[in-house]
Amino acid sequence: MIAMLLMLLYYAEHPKAAGKLYNVSDGHFHTLKEIIAAICQALGRNPPRFPVPVGPARFMVGLMENALRLVGRKSPAGRDTIDKYTEDIAVSSQRIQNELGFKPQYDLRSGWRETVQEMHEKDSFELPWNKDSFKF
């Protein structure tokens, strides 16, 4: 991962990159299901077998969001979170490849595998929310 960060810094300081934004990817489009499978494989876990439909998930999260708002608390996840994580979006890294000569060194699976391995080595797995946010 350090090598990847150094490479990204190189491209960020490239004269042609000034004032521009680039998407960085392995050059392929992946479905949410493929991304989840790659993350699960890297973690040594099986992907979820029974996906929760988006509609009921949004409804339940909305109930939690509204209930917490009534008691003056902010929900750690809201309807917008569900929408963001389930939207179909594809990004292309063609621009950085064409303009700066970027060549992906990882595919989806190897990138997640190395990321998880480094996180294990550095013991840097942390929850993306405050553990105390669920206390009343």
Whether residue 42 is contained in a domain is answered as no
Domain of residue 9, residue span:
1-29+92-124
80-134 pLDDT per residue, tens: 988 888 887 778 889 988 988 888 888 999 999 988 888 888 776 664 545 454 4
Whether residue 60 is contained in a domain is answered as no
The residue whose two tokens read 């708002």 is 69
Structure token pair of residue 79: 């309807």
Whether residue 118 is contained in a domain is answered as yes
Whether residue 16 is contained in a domain is answered as yes
pTM of the predicted model as reported, rounded to 2 decimal places: 0.62
Whether residue 103 is contained in a domain is answered as yes
Whether residue 71 is contained in a domain is answered as no
11: confidence class by pLDDT, cuts 50, 70, 90: confident
Whether residue 37 is contained in a domain is answered as no
38-57 pLDDT per residue, tens: 999 999 999 888 778 889 99
Residues 6+ apart with CB under 8 A from 61: 75, 77, 78, 79, 81, 82
Whether residue 96 is contained in a domain is answered as yes
Domain count, the chain: 1
